[in-house]
Structure 1
């Protein structure tokens, strides 16, 4: 027992160190402050209605009316019954946000390197290099929490897989199951999808190695164990998985039925996102060197170039005061890469990249090839439209690839692979299997390559690069050529400063290794020095973009929106209606009202299409159809003003006629001039059987009414009174799954009309109509998660008992 405690103590101390480091970097959280994350602010606005409903009733709603006219909450942080793997995740993220994610980065990568049998001291170095990789810190600054969450568990998933391949089948199975379960909890399927690519690369490397070593039986046994582990991990997340699978068919990630664009031009028919949308954020090939020299292409879209800059002088010449110029240069548009918006460069570190190149000459075997393969694979795919033939192949032929945008984010794979191989460069440096001559040769080549490239850039930057940004035409038109020339001068200056910085770090790294090879420095001191270099290097760049200035009071983040006079005026109206806000931003309207606005990367496809065709154009016919009672726009003085729309259709109404059109395209075109108060249109879809049993024309009594009498996010109740059988249209988004419709407590069907709304035939007389969102997918998924959680618990107890007995079995004399 004493021996076991002695072995565990270093790891306990390391974890305590990770806690301290995470809190130190994000130290304002200790004062109750919160980092201002724009995406999280928007999420708070979107999820306010469901949060309030849970607080008031103790129940979870899986539908919200507050955004995009109405949508499921599956992608808005919905919580499901029996989601015990989520509780484990919450326990691991015990630190205040975002320190919790940084801690997960460090912990997960540390375990990964330990599984690769790296000494714990070097594993700490690798964890620091991974955790402080600039991109991983930046996404915390802007609020891409689910992305950070998924990335953090990637090394842990790899750890489980590697344990299985190391013939530790039971421990590997359990760790893979739990880690993959946690990966899926993060609910960022794009990152998990990219992880799958890396696992495939790893699998190919191990397959080749197994073939060479005649160990194919072990290889395929390992694959079987891993398939079982992944299946169980999916079962642990069954509710979210099934709900997402259901939802994605209706989201804008699915295939559109339209053959035209909003401008009526022919539309490219795809099974996923639009090709231009997928590749909008394509990494520039030149931009690759941002990984090595942080501001190689100018850094981010808003860099602080200081008062000594040419841009400052240009602002002064344009007539800005010293104060105005000083403010403007804090967000100078110095970025000149290929992407439309970049918060910061995806810098992995000069010292780490030097060690990565050094490792290329010393590390041998399958480990090297899957890490190098993963690096090259992710880099090439990150180029997107800049390497069109490869990207087009993946979009057209690789399943699910066209469901995700921002192809540059696949670089998270190389941000994992590079520090891993870099650490193995130090492992080989410290072992005695390599000769001093081989180590000196590797050092010489890596120094020549990394130092030489940097020196070439420094000496020939003027002839190699033009430092022209994609938006320079706008700045030239707005501010003149002299302003653009000033920007280019400052871009060159940033380039030079960071290139010199990188060259110094390369020389220091090379010098440390040289002194070790010459027996001047000891191993422990080399580790300490590289730890200092890595932290100085990465944290120094990270703090340019995410620092204490980004924190605000906790209250401001928990309640980021303040009701304006316009909001207060609208809220005085206690009826049920929608608001279209042209002034307040994407999700503030959702915070206070049932809104047509919203902020989500996967809203319902048909709603997005109607929005692009009509709502964004302020088409009053379509706004009426959604019962848009208030339109917030600017008045003559530029102030926000709530225009009341007296022609809104109301919550529900009887129409005189129905007309079937040939296609979805014809249906959406008809909305432009449709008299939606009296007519409804539809096109063939899976509810067509319902339409066969209804009439096309109806008589509407002058006294016929249908009124909304009760409203909850997941429940609507109407009272209808009509002497004739009628057809009612409801100003609510049609969603094919989950809604239970009752007329006088008897379940009936409904259907989609007017491209996006709900419609149904209502019998003559007085009736109570109820819409309840009670999705079967949640019930089914919850049963599966409960059963799989119990199974995992039993397997975990059995596995740990087996490992305990095996490790404590008396050795034979």
Structure 2
């Protein structure tokens, strides 16, 4: 019985469209982190109730392994979930008049297990914590608008019933989020039976999971329900480090899966005689309410087509009338399926209540229709591709072949490229842009100041009206913003950006067209090498001063550099100095230097002080933050070998903490398990009193 119910819960959670989407869209760390939530919940309850060594060690291992999956936000939500359960458990224990000392002991054991689990992730998170200080996630947290931009909305709650109510994602989506690729649908059958659990099984677990689902839903609304979200954003530690409020809906999906399973468990145990008249009355009322909500949604979509399409058009996200019609048809089709599966759920429920079907047959039937219900949504998300299709996607095209023919060190700037932001990395071509969820703050500041990559091309364009239609046309040279052009040119020069990749042609004396194929390639005629000496070093006090100089006609990055500290000596003319890059890697750089005069070497690699060390002829020298985003080293006259090595101390400290704690917890599991085998099945292994 229990295994069959567990199978239902597992399949319901595994076939959640969000879970399927994590796999389909490459969110593998998110997927593997989420899959440990049920185990952590189970072990946390066992630790609070029994305080056994086995559960304590397993919980610490589960938490540590989850955090090592490297999706901090999902782990944070797991801690919120566990903390909420601990509070709920304390209230319930006090209501049952349990000894206060026992309650505090249980909380202490739980806290110790969580802390050991967190410490076990030191291998990863000591470095992450260090990096966070320098990233856009550090300091005071994320900007509110950025953090809340993927807020779920009350309107989209209707996708719990009709997955395509606001479009299915992609070009058909017209909801409040900037965009999405899939709906937050959980299956109408699991939703029906989850709600039923609140009617027929009102125990501690059911009420807790119901409370969790409601709170997680309110949090997911983000700025759409700002009163609740803002309190957490301002006052809950680390909450403001995360974006995409809708991500917390995973707790709703987990709660629904478990609640539905608990509902089936209760129905399995019921017999005709055990169902009171009062219970039948409550179930009847619930069925009327649920089917009434489903019916109203169906009738609205059926009778108000023009209104729905009007809302789709008013959203401004779906301009094409054909796509608006498609979005409506998808919603209508899903509404029909909602009615069918709701009817099936009610028929199965009534059959079980009236003993027309065996308990086991009832549960197996619910499992079958639930998988069908979810799969009809899942298959729209999964887009399996044959191996040849994947190879074609990453196939080296004419642009890649041209770029790889240049064997020098350089970067590119793709502008209005229709491929994913990190596509060129597959071919080991270095780019000045790309996607990272937690960019270095100094680099993000540069991107915001320059508007790269879009503004590189947009500065050459202006809006015009042709034949009554608004379009874009190229500006005359005199119309181009001179300061913005100098800023772009100077930043691209010092970033070693040699090629601009764009589907559009543009005219600028600083760039020469060198290739025309599937894309246009323009060469930056004034690109600087990966390392170069300058004539003059100037101390500045702020990033604003740096960006102001980068726009000035008096600044030339080939001759001048800016740092935030006092220079140890004055740099001399760099005309006779040379720097040759002999070794390049992610963690190791080596240069042969020939300096006729003492000077300052600018290295076109992004400044990151946590772990990078520079040695000149084997003696450590300081790396200076240069031009806000780059590195620089003062070099005395003569021939030298400069090496830059990434050797972060926190990483190695974290490794040993993780290794030791993992071995200790694993040993505790082995010892506790052996004692359990020797003792009676009902005897406690060891109480951590």
* Structure 2 CA distance for aligned equivalents of residues 520 and 353 of structure 1: 23
Q: CA deviation at 1:557?
A: 4.3
* Structure 1 CA distance for aligned equivalents of residues 190 and 518 of structure 2: 52
Matches within 5 A, 1:117-196: 119-196=2-79
* Structure 1 CA distance for aligned equivalents of residues 648 and 196 of structure 2: 55
* Structure 1 CA distance for aligned equivalents of residues 300 and 316 of structure 2: 28
Give the 3-state SS of the residue equivalent to 2:409 in structure 1: coil
* Structure 1 CA distance for aligned equivalents of residues 498 and 355 of structure 2: 79
* Structure 1 CA distance for aligned equivalents of residues 432 and 14 of structure 2: 39
Give 1:700's aligned residue: 573
Give 2:526's aligned residue: 647
Give 2:199's aligned residue: 361
Matches within 5 A, 1:156-555: 156-215=39-98, 216-255=100-139, 271-302=140-171, 333=172, 335-431=173-269, 435-461=275-301, 462=303, 466-468=308-310, 483=321, 488-546=324-382, 549-553=383-387
Q: CA deviation at 1:718?
A: 1.5
Q: 1:617-656 CA distances to partner (integer Å, 9 max, x unpaired)?
A: 4311101111222222346577423323231221222223
> Retained in 2: the 8 A contact 1:652–1:731?
yes
Matched, 1:598 2:434: yes
- Which stretch of the first structure deviates more once superposed, 508-517 or 128-137? 508-517
* Structure 2 CA distance for aligned equivalents of residues 140 and 148 of structure 1: 7
Q: 1:330-357 CA distances to partner (integer Å, 9 max, x unpaired)?
A: xxx2x33222222222111111111112
> Retained in 2: the 8 A contact 1:439–1:517?
no
* Structure 2 CA distance for aligned equivalents of residues 365 and 810 of structure 1: 26
> Retained in 1: the 8 A contact 2:494–2:557?
yes
Q: CA deviation at 1:493?
A: 3.8
Q: 1:279-326 CA distances to partner (integer Å, 9 max, x unpaired)?
A: 221112121021122222232234xxxxxxxxxxxxxxxxxxxxxxxx
> Retained in 1: the 8 A contact 2:602–2:633?
yes
> Retained in 1: the 8 A contact 2:421–2:433?
yes
Give 1:727's aligned residue: 600
> Retained in 1: the 8 A contact 2:576–2:597?
no
- The 3 A distance-change label for structure 1 pair 564 and 457 is closer
* Structure 2 CA distance for aligned equivalents of residues 670 and 254 of structure 1: 27
**Residue of structure 2 aligned with 1:766, choices 632, 639, 642:** 639
Give 2:474's aligned residue: none
* Structure 2 CA distance for aligned equivalents of residues 471 and 459 of structure 1: 21
* Structure 2 CA distance for aligned equivalents of residues 136 and 369 of structure 1: 25
- The 3 A distance-change label for structure 1 pair 166 and 475 is closer
* Structure 2 CA distance for aligned equivalents of residues 455 and 197 of structure 1: 36
Give 1:103's aligned residue: none
Matches within 5 A, 1:27-176: 119-176=2-59
* Structure 1 CA distance for aligned equivalents of residues 682 and 6 of structure 2: 29
- Which stretch of the first structure deviates more once superposed, 718-727 or 176-185? 718-727
**Residue of structure 2 aligned with 1:629, choices 492, 498, 507:** 498
Give 1:570's aligned residue: 403
* Structure 1 CA distance for aligned equivalents of residues 497 and 683 of structure 2: 77
- The 3 A distance-change label for structure 1 pair 136 and 701 is closer
Give the 3-state SS of the residue equivalent to 1:346 in structure 2: coil
> Retained in 2: the 8 A contact 1:162–1:172?
no
Give the 3-state SS of the residue equivalent to 1:807 in structure 2: coil
**Residue of structure 2 aligned with 1:681, choices 529, 537, 562:** 562
| Structure 1, unpaired ranges of 5+ | 1-117, 256-270, 303-332, 684-690
Matched, 1:742 2:615: yes
Give the 3-state SS of the residue equivalent to 2:679 in structure 1: helix
- The 3 A distance-change label for structure 1 pair 496 and 654 is closer
Give the 3-state SS of the residue equivalent to 1:235 in structure 2: helix
Q: 1:591-626 CA distances to partner (integer Å, 9 max, x unpaired)?
A: 332221322212212112212322434311101111
Give 1:267's aligned residue: none
> Retained in 2: the 8 A contact 1:242–1:781?
yes
Give the 3-state SS of the residue equivalent to 1:138 in structure 2: helix
* Structure 2 CA distance for aligned equivalents of residues 435 and 808 of structure 1: 34
* Structure 1 CA distance for aligned equivalents of residues 324 and 408 of structure 2: 56
* Structure 2 CA distance for aligned equivalents of residues 475 and 417 of structure 1: 32
Q: CA deviation at 1:523?
A: 0.8
Q: CA deviation at 1:209?
A: 0.7
TM-score by length of 1: 0.73
> Retained in 2: the 8 A contact 1:336–1:467?
no
* Structure 2 CA distance for aligned equivalents of residues 443 and 457 of structure 1: 21
> Retained in 1: the 8 A contact 2:57–2:666?
no
- The 3 A distance-change label for structure 1 pair 810 and 446 is closer
> Retained in 1: the 8 A contact 2:58–2:665?
no
Q: CA deviation at 1:734?
A: 0.7
**Residue of structure 1 aligned with 2:446, choices 581, 598, 610:** 610
Q: 1:246-269 CA distances to partner (integer Å, 9 max, x unpaired)?
A: 1111222224xxxxxxxxxxxxxx
TM-score by length of 2: 0.86
Q: CA deviation at 1:155?
A: 0.6
Give the 3-state SS of the residue equivalent to 1:791 in structure 2: helix
- The 3 A distance-change label for structure 1 pair 799 and 560 is farther
**Residue of structure 1 aligned with 2:540, choices 661, 673, 681:** 661
* Structure 2 CA distance for aligned equivalents of residues 372 and 459 of structure 1: 28
Work out the number of aligned pairs and report it.
631
| Structure 2, unpaired ranges of 5+ | 457-487, 506-515, 685-689
Give the 3-state SS of the residue equivalent to 2:153 in structure 1: coil
> Retained in 1: the 8 A contact 2:615–2:621?
yes
> Retained in 2: the 8 A contact 1:570–1:642?
no
> Retained in 2: the 8 A contact 1:363–1:428?
yes
> Retained in 2: the 8 A contact 1:720–1:769?
yes
Q: 1:58-100 CA distances to partner (integer Å, 9 max, x unpaired)?
A: xxxxxxxxxxxxxxxxxxxxxxxxxxxxxxxxxxxxxxxxxxx
- Which stretch of the first structure deviates more once superposed, 673-682 or 755-764? 673-682
* Structure 2 CA distance for aligned equivalents of residues 493 and 639 of structure 1: 36
Q: CA deviation at 1:168?
A: 4.9
Q: 1:170-223 CA distances to partner (integer Å, 9 max, x unpaired)?
A: 222122122212211221111111112211221121010111122233332222
Q: CA deviation at 1:735?
A: 0.5
Give the 3-state SS of the residue equivalent to 2:584 in structure 1: strand
Q: RMSD of the TM alignment (CA)?
A: 2.5
* Structure 1 CA distance for aligned equivalents of residues 605 and 501 of structure 2: 21
